[in-house]
Amino acid sequence: MNATIKLEQKHIPVLLDELISIISPLYGGTFIDCTFGQGGYSSKILENKNNKIISFDRDEEVIDISRKLKKKFGKKFSFINKKFSEINSIDLTKENIRAIIFDLGYSTSQIKNSSKGISFNYLGKLNMKMGLNKFSAHDVVNKMDEISLHKIFKFYGDEQKSKIIAKKIVLERKKKIIKTEDLVKIIDLVKKHKRTKTHNSTKIFQSLRIFVNEEVSQLIFGLINSFKILPIGGMIAVVTFHSLEDKIVKFFFRNYSENKNSSRYLPELSQKKQLFKLNNKKPILPSWNEIKINPSSRSAKLRYGIKISNSNDFNEFLKKFEYLLNIEKLSKKL
């Protein structure tokens, strides 16, 4: 993709002021931006001369943007083209890490890039790969068995018609489902073109994106591995865009910050270790003004926690979302 197109598809960073206001008391150290994207968050944090940024992104198409920041900020900025779940594979021992930030989902340029085939609003080959993927959405809809498709649509998309849509896809794919519009047509046939407030294809496209990019394990291990490398007093801040992501992030912070076993009816249970201090139990949401300027910010939620103790035990977290992690294993059939 050339630079002119990238400029037209500039991503507006979501909840930027709110994020800066929660992390700025920690200024003067290293910040990790797990989702560099168009560099909106990273550039803003680098405006403070005492800060250093290490950014991750799995999409190699953002390397050009990262080079511009490198030129401007030199040693204060580094970019790693890796998935954020691998955050603990980098030697960060010399860094004074103050906060690790996630802005989940897709940048505007990824959504509008028809070769990525991410959105039903942009015609293009069914692909959905963010970067560093093992398979595409094309592989999933053309090769996966009906029961697996049904599970993906149900658990990752909460699609009520998951079973019939899976059946219809298997019937129709004799002709191959190549483009985003081919899949939209099949979904419309099942839903009989009844467009509600939500587009007929929203949930199916969402579930395929989550599956193709292994977003559930990325998020779960991204959070766990970030926690492991974060010193006490450091912060993890996460912006989510859909309910599945938010459910995972909310559980991670709440479960490890509240003492749920402290009920007087359960005196024999040991007190659960608290790993985070939460300043807000409720997520921070975009203002009406932000939504007016950037409507795609409307579903964003920002949650954050300050690390107060160490732990290596995340079994409860893993057990809670095992059913979602197991869906990823279906890709072995591809």
Ligand X SMILES: C[S@@+](CC[C@H](N)C(=O)[O-])C[C@H]1O[C@@H](n2cnc3c(N)ncnc32)[C@H](O)[C@@H]1O
Q: How far is the CB of 309 from ligand X (least distance, A)?
A: 26
Q: How far is the CB of 70 from ligand X (least distance, A)?
A: 16
> Between 40 and 234, whose beta carbon lies closer to ligand X?
40
> Between 59 and 159, whose beta carbon lies closer to ligand X?
59
Q: How far is the CB of 44 from ligand X (least distance, A)?
A: 8
Q: Which residues bind ligand X (CB under 6 A)?
A: 11, 13, 35, 37-41, 56-59, 62, 83-84, 103, 105-107, 130-131, 218
Q: How far is the CB of 35 from ligand X (least distance, A)?
A: 3
> Between 106 and 314, whose beta carbon lies closer to ligand X?
106
> Between 68 and 273, whose beta carbon lies closer to ligand X?
68
> Between 33 and 182, whose beta carbon lies closer to ligand X?
33
Neighbours of 134 (CB within 10 A): 11
Q: How far is the CB of 129 from ligand X (least distance, A)?
A: 10
